[in-house]
Amino acid sequence: MNSERPRKRRSILDYQAEQENILKTRENLLNDINLQTKGNDNIHSKRKLKEKEKSVKINENIKKYDYDDYELNNMDYDSACQFDKRTCLRTYWSVIKREHYVVFTFISKYDHNLFYIKIERFFILICTEMTMNGMFFVHETMYKKKTGGTSFAQRLPQIIFSILVTHVMEIILCYLSMTDKHYYEIKALPKIHKNDERVFDILKCIRNKLTGFFIFTFLVFLFHWYFISAFCAVYQNTQLIFLRDSGISILVSLVDPFFIYGITCLLRAISLSICCKKKLCCIYKLSDIIPIF
């Protein structure tokens, strides 16, 4: 009996020790699990922060490049101050690509305008220059033109008049042929309304304008063809002078947009560069008058 009692005491002590060890192991396991979950939470939180930073950068890039040149050039003053961060040179080139008819026809791409319309517009402007030069060959100065007695100063009104008429013709052709404006009208519509009658009305407007463009250019081409052929048939000795003056007028008409749009882009850059200090909305509107389309 005496020998069994210490065994029982030992077993109870052992049982208590085992229970304490089990509790300690459970506590250690719980601590390890908590540490692991905290570590995982930290990892997940770091991943979430990185994903948020990436999404913010992507959104910033989208905000920077969400607007193209046409949209930036046609913004109001407050919107341009906020979104138009281009340099003056880049703005100048974006305007030249759309308004200079040689650059617009052969260099500018992906501008939402039809290429064959550009080609027809280019040729009709060249023919307009030639026709306007032919109209200035009056009988009083025909002999001087033939003998080369006229100076450049005397031919200057002829050149200016032909350029002005060509620019007026260009405005009419821009109104009838430019389809990019209507593209951005459709783009500006909410997605919910892009299947309603507004889109079909815009497409109908494009069709009517292009129909008017083809009819107008056909009649103008007929007039140019008749006038130039009749002029060269009647005044055969002045054909070289006629071609020379037409070439000078075409050359000047190709150069003058660089100066005109350079002034307008400079005014625009001035109005936007110090917009945080002063409101120069008047200068911005003045720069927005040209180009008309």
More confident: 72 or 192: 72
The more confident residue out of 169 and 45 is 169
The pLDDT value recorded for residue 209 is: 93
More confident residue, 56 or 199: 199
Element (H, E) at 94: helix 88-99
In 3D, which of 167, 96, 95 has the Cα closest to residue 132? 167
**At 285, which amino acid appears?**
K
pLDDT at residue 48 greater than cutoff 60: no
Higher pLDDT, 194 or 133: 133
- Is the pTM here over 0.85, yes or no? no
User: 143-187, pLDDT tens digit by residue?
Assistant: 455 555 556 666 677 778 888 888 889 899 999 999 888 888 888
Mind listing the pLDDT tens digit for each residue in 230-275?
Answer: 888 888 888 888 888 888 889 988 998 999 999 999 988 888 876 5
The type of residue at 238 is T
Does the pLDDT at position 46 exceed 50? no
Residue 13 pLDDT: 46
pLDDT in tens, 90-102: 999 999 999 898 9
- Which residue has better confidence, 212 or 29? 212
pLDDT over 50 (residue 58): no
Give the per-residue pLDDT at 286: 83
Name the residue among 256, 260, 262 with its Cα closest to residue 89: 262
* pLDDT score at 284: 85
CA dist 65 → 72, 76, 83, 113, 160 (Å): 10, 18, 9, 21, 41
> What whole-number distance in Å separates Cα of residue 258 and Cα of residue 118?
19
pLDDT score recorded for residue 24:
62
pLDDT of residue 152: 62
Provide the pLDDT for residue 78.
Answer: 83
Structure confidence at residue 223 (pLDDT): 94
Binning pLDDT at 50, 70 and 90, where does residue 276 land?
low
User: Using 50, 70 and 90 to split pLDDT, how confident is the model at 16?
Assistant: low
138: DSSP letter? -
> Could you tell me what percent of the chain has a pLDDT over 90?
23
Contact between 281 and 104 under an 8 Å Cβ cutoff? The reply is: no
What's the average model confidence in pLDDT over 108-121? 88
- The mean pLDDT value of the chain amounts to 76
What is the C-alpha to C-alpha distance for residues 23 and 11, in angstroms, rounded to an integer? 18
